[in-house]
Amino acid sequence: MSQVDFLYAGIQKNVGPAGAVVGIIKQSFLAAAREDLPVMLKYDTFFTNDSTYNTPPVFCIYFVNKVLRWLDENGGLTVMEQKNKEKAAVVYAAIDESNGFYRGHAVKDSRSLMNVTFGLATAELEKEFIDGAEAEGLIGLKGHRSLGGCRASIYNAVTLEGCEKLAGFMERFRRSH
């Protein structure tokens, strides 16, 4: 961290609501910042006012605090990373072992632990898959608007059992088609 002057992280979906971000900035970086910016665009404004120059987004702060405590109580980031790898492996195995029935979008060495994207042979088959999954309580599998296909979002709060349920449905759906 000593080599980083400014860290800006989008934390939505895994740590907070959409739009929530965290910024960590060195005082030396603040001291070298431009002076000709409007007050609201200067990070120093927020630093000197303890991040409360304007009304803070209290719900986002509350939410992030609750999630960070939950993460800490459940083993921290190292444990969560391992759990996320296990969950993703279950869903990716269902894709990889389908003999091409499911087609992953991402190259194997670039796969996301959070969003498992895949397609089926036709749009009609994808719709049938999504409808069948919803009937089993597996919701939100319709793909991203720019990529299409299917997307399983398996963020921190999604359980291993939920991923196993999805993988089981995927196998049953493949066998029936």
Backbone dihedral angles phi then psi of residue 124, each to the nearest 5 degrees: -65, -40
Average pLDDT, the chain: 92
Beta-ladder partners of 25: 6
Instruction: Kindly state whether residues 38 and 96 are assigned to the same domain.
Output: no
Mean pLDDT on 33-52:
88
Mean pLDDT on 156-175:
97
Q: Is the pLDDT reported for residue 1 higher than 70?
A: no
Tokens for 172, please give them.
Answer: 């049953």
Residue 170 lies in a domain: yes
Tokens for 120, please give them.
Answer: 């089926």
pLDDT of residue 47: 87
pLDDT of residue 127: 96
Residues 111-146 pLDDT 10s:
999 999 999 999 999 999 999 999 999 999 999 778
28-33 long-range Cβ contacts below 8 angstroms, 24+ apart = 29/5
Instruction: Kindly state whether residues 91 and 171 are assigned to the same domain.
Output: yes
Number of independent structural domains in the chain: 2
Mean pLDDT on 7-29:
87
Contacting residues for 36 by C-beta, under 8 A, at least 6 apart: none
Mean pLDDT on 75-83:
95
Instruction: Kindly state whether residues 160 and 86 are assigned to the same domain.
Output: yes
User: What pTM, to 2 d.p., does this model score?
Assistant: 0.82
Higher pLDDT, 174 or 53: 174
Instruction: Kindly state whether residues 58 and 108 are assigned to the same domain.
Output: no
Can you tell me the distance from the alpha carbon of 15 to that of 6, in angstroms, rounded to the nearest whole number?
20
pLDDT of residue 81: 95
Higher pLDDT, 173 or 57: 173
Domain residues for the domain of 150 are 76-176
Residue 1 lies in a domain: no
Instruction: Kindly state whether residues 56 and 124 are assigned to the same domain.
Output: no
pLDDT of residue 23: 87
Instruction: Kindly state whether residues 50 and 109 are assigned to the same domain.
Output: no
Torsion from C-alpha of 42, 43, 45, 47, nearest 10 degrees: -170
Instruction: Kindly state whether residues 91 and 48 are assigned to the same domain.
Output: no
